[in-house]
Amino acid sequence: MHKTYLLLGSNLGNRDTLLDEALEALQALGRVIAVSTRRETEPWGFSVPVPPFMNQALCLETQLEAEELLDHCLEIEKRLGRVRPRQESPVKGGRTYVSRLIDIDILLYDNLIMDSEKLTLPHPRLKDRDFARELLEEIIPKSLSLEDLFTK
């Protein structure tokens, strides 16, 4: 079994319902063993004003490999109504930030450090997002140091 930490986010629609539905769908991929509180957060990385996000972190034990988990997360997002822009128009750091019904980010996956075309672990912007680290710190074991991960 693999232990992975995910971050859920939504800034459109009924945010709490969407997070509930995402959490329920993720339970089909393994066993959710910890869930953080939910927190309304200011949008990060946007160049124009958008509604605030509702975010929540969780720990999932799964038999899926990291990139398989990513594929399932993307499918759950699609099923819950997320539409990814066809045309990329980078706003900050070469990335496009748009409001979304649901977002599922893989923050950590075991102690895996990887950088493939599909997936970078730990999540490349985790160290820049205080809200994500704070939610993650609610549920990670005290023996796991986020700072150690950022220096690897």
Interstrand relation of 53-62 and 114-115 (parallel, antiparallel or unpaired): unpaired
Q: Which of 16, 38, 79, 82 is catalytic?
A: 82
Alpha-carbon distance of 102 to 61, in angstroms, equals 21
Tell me whether residue 105 is one of the annotated catalytic residues. Answer: yes
Q: Which of 100, 125, 130, 133 is catalytic?
A: 100
Contact of 101 with 80, CB cutoff 8 Å: yes
HSE of 125 in the Cβ direction (CA atoms, 13 Å)?
Answer: 11
Chain-centroid distance of CA 17 in Å reads 17
Alpha-carbon distance of 20 to 145, in angstroms, equals 28
Tell me whether residue 100 is one of the annotated catalytic residues. Answer: yes
Residue 35: which region, alpha, beta or left (left: phi > 0; alpha: psi -120 to 50)? beta
Q: Which of 31, 38, 84, 103 is catalytic?
A: 103
Contact of 135 with 37, CB cutoff 8 Å: yes
Q: Which of 15, 105, 129, 133 is catalytic?
A: 105
Known catalytic residues are 82, 100, 103, 105
